[in-house]
Amino acid sequence: MSIKRFIPNFITLLNLFCGSIAVIFAVNNNFVAAAIFVFLGIFFDFFDGLLARKLNVQSELGIQLDSLADMVTSGLVPGIVMYKLISMSMVAPEMFTKTEWSSTTTWDSISISFMPLVGLFITLASAYRLAKFNIDEDQQSYFKGLPTPANTLLILSLPLIIEFQNSSFFNSLISNQWFLIGLTIGSCYILNSNIKLFALKFKNYSFSDNKFRYTLIVLSIFLMIAFHFIAIPLIIILYIVLSVLKNVTTK
């Protein structure tokens, strides 16, 4: 049996390995390190499928393994990060609005605050989205709902904005528990919505066939240069808007 059959699966396992390390860092509130390993995991996630197609070794095992790896890197990690962000937003006195909602139940040495658990809905929604993707044969040239890696980049951008952008407006916004809860609900919805979002797969390189893809890439570069990490949520919004425009113009 040729060793090339195992190369894409090995790359997928590197994605899972990076995601597992990111979980450890996220649990310990080291969001920068968690983001670095998530970015690495998403990098490997992009190339495992590409290698499988180039080597012509696609397999059902590879498809299932890819989803399992994504469940950690792009499902569990963003859920933990959101859980942590909501927890932190509730520590600041000015963020308390309904203290009875932040009640804590204690079993011996285990203390659980219920409100931050809402952040883990992202993990549940990601699992549901990945399961639907596996059984949906239509999603070849487009996605139904936001792909889990894109949603993960959105969530991971929040602590990076606080860490590196030093914007009082965005810092106060991201540290607001109601904003975070609203974003969590919106994230769960867009992950499993029926909105068709175009994939960044080029069948050819003509501008007429790929004008929305080229527009996204060019504007994303400008946004990253101008706004750095703040550009990430802007790019996600741009991606959704361009996809809706593409759907309308195509019809």
pLDDT band at 139 (very low <50, low <70, confident <90, very high): low
- Tell me, letter by letter, the H, E, C secondary structure of the chain: CCHHHHHHHHHHHHHHHHHHHHHHHHHCCCHHHHHHHHHHHHHHHHHHHHHHHHHCCCCHHHHHHHHHHHHHHHHHHHHHHHHHHHHHHCCCHHHCCCHHHHCEEEECCEEEECHHHHHHHHHHHHHHHHHHHHHCCCCCCEEECCCHHHHHHHHHHHHHHHHHCCCHHHHHHHCCHHHHHHHHHHHHHHHCCCCEEECCCCCCCCHHHHHHHHHHHHHHHHHHHHHHHHHHHHHHHHHHHHHHHHHHHHC
- pLDDT-wise least confident of 207-211, 220-224, 234-238: 207-211
Go through the domains of the chain in sequence order and give each one's CATH number.
Answer: 3-137+167-193 (1.20.120)
pLDDT band at 27 (very low <50, low <70, confident <90, very high): very high
Q: Is 28 exposed, middle or buried (0-12, 13-18, 19+ CB in 10 A)?
A: exposed
Rg (CA), the chain: 19
In this prediction the pTM is 0.88
pLDDT for 3: 77
pLDDT band at 47 (very low <50, low <70, confident <90, very high): confident
CB-based contact 18:41 (threshold 8 Å): yes
User: 177 vs 139, which has greater pLDDT?
Assistant: 177
- pLDDT tens, residue by residue, 112-130: 678 999 999 999 999 999 9
Mean pLDDT, the chain, whole residue set: 87
**What is the rounded average pLDDT of the residues 211-228?**
95
**What is the rounded average pLDDT of the residues 217-222?**
96
pLDDT band at 107 (very low <50, low <70, confident <90, very high): low
Whether the pLDDT of residue 221 is over 90: the answer is yes
pLDDT band at 109 (very low <50, low <70, confident <90, very high): low
**What is the rounded average pLDDT of the residues 145-173?**
94
pLDDT for 106: 52
pLDDT for 98: 37
Phi, psi for residue 202 in degrees, rounded to 5:
-100, 115
**Integer angstrom CA distances of residue 154 from 198, 213, 237:** 18, 19, 10
Cα torsion through 208, 209, 215, 217, rounded to 10: -140
Whether the pLDDT of residue 161 is over 90: the answer is yes
Of all residues in the chain, what percent carry a pLDDT higher than 70?
89
CA nearest neighbour of 17 among 53, 68, 64: 68
